[in-house]
Amino acid sequence: MRIDVISIFPQFFDALGLSLFGKATDSGLLGFSAHDLREWATDKHRSVDDTPAGGGAGMVMKADVWGKALEEVFAEPVTPGAALADSSEGVSVAAVDMVSGTDSLDGTETAPEAAMGRGGRAPRRVLVIPTPSGETFTQRVAEDLAYADHLVFACGRYEGIDSRVAEHYRESDVEVRELSIGDYVLNGGEVASIVMIEAVVRLIPGFMGNPESLVEESHGAAGLLEYPVYTRPANWNERDIPQILMSGHHANIARWRRERAFDKTMARRPDMIEALNPEQLDKKDRAY
């Protein structure tokens, strides 16, 4: 997968070089670049914004500057197949049928030869526009985006990006996702992009040192919040690790964890319990 971000503050993304993300770019699992939007500004002040049509407060980011930036960044070569190829590749992805373009993954579509990469199919390109007015970014959306070959994050500031940019790309072969990370307003799309990038890249096979960590975590396939976890020392501040976790009895431990995950989810997120489907329950759960 290749990820590009375009922002007037590309330094925000230096933090991604730390930790596992840096390892993934070093190993070639992931290509990443942060670009300064002002590189595509044309006037002597390198301006990227102007007053809103129709009047009102704030400034709007200019379509012509964004248009040139996106055209150039989307022209970068990407290798299809570097992203998740299908749902059998490790992660449990509950949203396979949400993936637009899934049919084209078998290579039977008739996209022009020039648009084809090594994988024999056109790369899946997605323009992500972080905005508080977008659809909510969830683990299901992260799972879907993990199938893309090229993600470009367009980080708006001020009152946002001229709406014609999203309209234009909606009519192209690039998918457009306007996404919000929650019901609050940030000063720009940079922090929201970092949140989304971190959630997506950890789903790429090979990214996590131990992919088993993905199985039982909160918002995973079980549809529950994660059970409480403990490590040594066995007693801390007069609190013991629950005895069952020290028993070595794997089936009892698994049942205990499942019940604690249910308790926690019921207390904190009853909406998630409501949303469980029959495949996410077993007979013991119903009795419970």
Q: DSSP letters of 8-25? A: S-GGGGGGGGSHHHHHHH
Q: How many residues bind ligand ADE (CB under 6 A)?
A: 11
The 192-231 site mask, x for binding ligand ADE (CB under 6 A), equals x---------------------------------------
Stretch that binds ligand ADE, among 56-64, 94-102, 125-133, 212-220 (CB under 6 A): 125-133
Alpha carbons 172 and 166: distance in angstroms, whole number = 10
Residue type, 55: G
Q: Which is nearer to ligand ADE, 101 or 132 (CB)?
A: 132
Indicate whether 182 belongs to the interface with ligand ADE (CB under 6 A).
yes
Indicate whether 186 belongs to the interface with ligand ADE (CB under 6 A).
yes
Cis peptide before 80 (omega within 30 of 0): no
Indicate whether 142 belongs to the interface with ligand ADE (CB under 6 A).
no
Indicate whether 13 belongs to the interface with ligand ADE (CB under 6 A).
no
Alpha carbons 18 and 41: distance in angstroms, whole number = 30
Alpha carbons 217 and 219: distance in angstroms, whole number = 6
Q: Which helix (H) or strand (E) holds 235?
A: strand 235-236
Token pair in block for residue 131:
């905005």
Closest distance of CB 267 from ligand ADE, Å: 26
**Facing residues of 126 across strands?**
151, 175
Indicate whether 59 belongs to the interface with ligand ADE (CB under 6 A).
no
Q: Tell me how crowded residue 159 is: count the other CB atoms within 10 A of its CB.
A: 15
Stretch that binds ligand ADE, among 102-110, 111-119, 181-189, 235-243 (CB under 6 A): 181-189
Indicate whether 58 belongs to the interface with ligand ADE (CB under 6 A).
no
Stretch that binds ligand ADE, among 47-55, 183-191, 200-208, 273-281 (CB under 6 A): 183-191
- Can you tell me which of 131, 146, 162, 197 binds ligand ADE, judged by CB under 6 A? 131
**3-class DSSP assignment, residue 152:** strand
Alpha carbons 129 and 153: distance in angstroms, whole number = 6
Indicate whether 6 belongs to the interface with ligand ADE (CB under 6 A).
no
- Can you tell me which of 81, 180, 241, 276 binds ligand ADE, judged by CB under 6 A? 180
Contact 121, 80 (CB under 8 A): yes
* Site residues (vs ligand ADE, CB under 6 A): 130-132, 180-182, 184-186, 189, 192
